[in-house]
Amino acid sequence: MSDKLLIEKTVPGREGCSLPEIDCPAPPLDMLFPSSLLREKSPSLPEMSESDVVRHFYNLAKKNYSIDEGMYPLGSCTMKYNPKVNEELSKLDGFTHIHPYQSIDSVQGALELIYELQHFLEEISGMDKITLQPAAGAHGEFTGVAIIRAYHEDRKDKKRTKMIVPDSAHGTNPASSAMNGFEVVEVKSDSDGLVDIEALKGLLGADVAGIMLTNPNTLGLFEKNIVRIAKLAHDAGALLYYDGANMNAILGYTRPGDMGFDIVHFNLHKTFSTPHGTGGPGSGPIGVKRDLIPFLPVPTVERSAEGKYFLNYDKPKSIGRVRSFYGNFIVLVKAYAYLLSVGKDNLKKISQMAVLNANYLMSLIKEHYRIPYDTICKHEFVATGKEYKKYGVKTLDIAKRLLDYGIHPPTIYFPLIVSEALMFEPTETESKESLEEYANILKRIAEEAKRKPELLKNAPSKTPVRRLNEVKAVRDMKLRW
Ligand SMILES: *Cc1c(COP(=O)(O)O)cnc(C)c1O
């Protein structure tokens, strides 16, 4: 299999399709396009046959790994199966052939879909109003934290410069706080892996704008003191932000709005089954409680008393636009189709199966990979590979060895409060058999770590590329041929 680019494989004169000779005088090109837009010479495009092109892309795709190929228990990322019916529906001409500059009258159906999806998410989260504009989870966080800032500024409460974030938080939480100009203050976890209430009390004060929390947290543990935390936050004049990237454990059981949260973001590309893509397109809607509605980005999609959908730009306190038009519309179509096909009454089943699967996988592997916070988990759990350090094996080596078995590793080295962390989230869409197979491979690797650690240290040996220098890949990107 050659690693050449299409342009290197070109054979002058070779064609992918042949068109009949034109049988009428060809109009001069500058009659069709303004001459200022015409090229001086033809672009240098690869010249190839259809089969050359198909093989090129097929072979590239084979080097990749996806949820369609096997289990992908990437903790905190919710890599669940993407039902194909959603893909089919999102490809309907009525969705793909419309344009955001069309008249509002001609896109009532699309606006209805947006409006209804907003409504579903309002019900699921217990929030009063949703915007679907943000393009990813981190973008939703940025938008939500901007609203927290706007809320305090509007009340002329300018001393609130701090955002409290737990030490177990996803890295995007401190990042989106800092990007909004807040000073990030870390609150410690207690010995149960939950927010240390006494530490939190010590931090809360008239300079705190808000607290960002995930519940269940990134250890997969439910923050059982959440109602108390919400009261402490509100009594101190701070707002409570819910990182709802992964709602797989609570769907249909509880709602951030009922727990006392003021703002929430969702990841449609996690909980609501739309593909993650290769870094996009995603969708990170946010929802807010009533008092915060005036600050939402414009436009909001609304319905008039006569049942007509329209765009509302009349929001003088809005933080402005965070993205062009309505967000990633086709992603919204997929999430809408998913929610309709699951149905309100079945939301609970998603949580039940996600939690059951996580606990089953945990019970299968805990003898080999210690669980630092060993209790029933929610949709994910965190193990440690620390025990294998005495054989010279790191968690990174365990993850790389999984690749040799043709299977995707869990999230590693996160959350930061567990050393040599392995974070598993199997999701509800895995079968009992696939969980058992994954556990068996993990057991085999645990044995290898003790007997033949060099197998792990030299892994992966069967992948298209071996160990990459990940820092160099980021710092010294080669984006040009
Ligand atoms: C994935 C994730 C995010 C960020 O979502 P992106 O769409 O990747 O920007 C934020 N918080 C948590 C807990 C997550 O798992």
| pLDDT tens-digit readout, 134-178 | 999 999 999 999 999 999 999 999 999 999 999 999 999 999 999
CA–centroid distance, 176 to ligand 1, in Å, is 11
In ligand 1, which atom is closest to the CA atom of 78?
15
User: What are the tens digits of pLDDT across the range 183-234?
Assistant: 999 999 999 999 999 999 999 999 999 999 999 999 999 999 999 999 999 9
Minimal-distance CA residue to ligand 1 atom 8: 137
Q: Which residues of the chain have pLDDT under 70?
A: 1-2, 277-280
Q: Which atom of ligand 1 is nearest to the CA of 141?
A: 10
Ligand 1: distance of its center to the CA of 134 in Å? Answer: 12
Whether the model clears a pTM of 0.85, i.e. scores above it, the answer is yes
Q: What is the DSSP string of 348-412?
A: HHHHHHHHHHHHHHHHHHTTTSB-SS-S--SS-EEEE-GGGGGGT--HHHHHHHHHHTT----EE
Q: For residue 142, how many C-alpha atoms fall within 13 Å in the half-sphere facing its CB?
A: 14
- For residue 477, the model assigns a pLDDT of 83
User: What's the CA gap between 252 and 353, in Å, rounded?
Assistant: 13
Task: Give the pLDDT of residue 281.
Answer: 87
**pLDDT value at position 468?**
85
Report CA(172)–ligand 1 centroid distance (Å). Answer: 7
Q: Which residues' Cβ are closer than 6 Å to ligand 1?
A: 76-77, 136-138, 170, 172, 214, 243, 245-246, 267, 282, 284
Cα distance between residue 238 and residue 215, in whole Å: 18
The ligand 1 atom at the shortest distance from the C-alpha of residue 282 is: 7
H helices within 214-255, ranges in order? 226-235
pLDDT tens sequence across 230-257: 999 999 999 999 999 999 999 999 999 9
* CA of 137 relative to ligand 1 center, distance in Å: 5
Return the residue matching tokens 């002329």.
156
Nearest to 430 by CA among 359, 373, 375, 367: 359
* Per-residue model confidence (pLDDT) at position 27: 86
* Residue that the structure tokens 């609150």 belong to: 187
Kindly report the protein residue whose alpha carbon is nearest to atom 6 of ligand 1.
Answer: 137
Ligand 1 centroid from CA 29, angstroms: 49
- Taking CA atoms only, the protein residue closest to ligand 1 atom 15 is 76
For residue 411, the CA-to-ligand 1 centroid distance in Å is 13
Contact 363, 383 (CB under 8 A): no
Q: Are 70 and 408 in contact (CB under 8 A)?
A: yes
Question: Nearest residue CA, atom 2 of ligand 1?
Answer: 245
> In sequence order, what are the beta bridge partners of 309?
303
Nearest to 424 by CA among 64, 68, 79: 79
**Structural domains of the chain ordered from first start:** 6-38+45-62 (no CATH), 98-342 (3.40.640.10), 347-475 (3.90.1150.10)
Please confirm whether the linkage preceding 299 is cis (ω < 30° from 0): yes
Angle at 445 between CA 372 and CA 468, to 5 degrees: 95
Strands (E), 200-350: 208-213, 239-244, 263-266, 286-288, 300-303, 309-312
Which atom of ligand 1 sits closest to the CA of residue 169? 13
Ligand 1: nearest atom to the Cα of 246 = 15
Q: Rounded to the nearest whole angstrom, what is the distance from the C-alpha of residue 354 to the centroid of ligand 1?
A: 18
**72 alpha carbon to ligand 1 midpoint, in Å?**
16
Cis peptide before 43 (omega within 30 of 0): no
Residue 263 bridge partners (DSSP): 241, 288
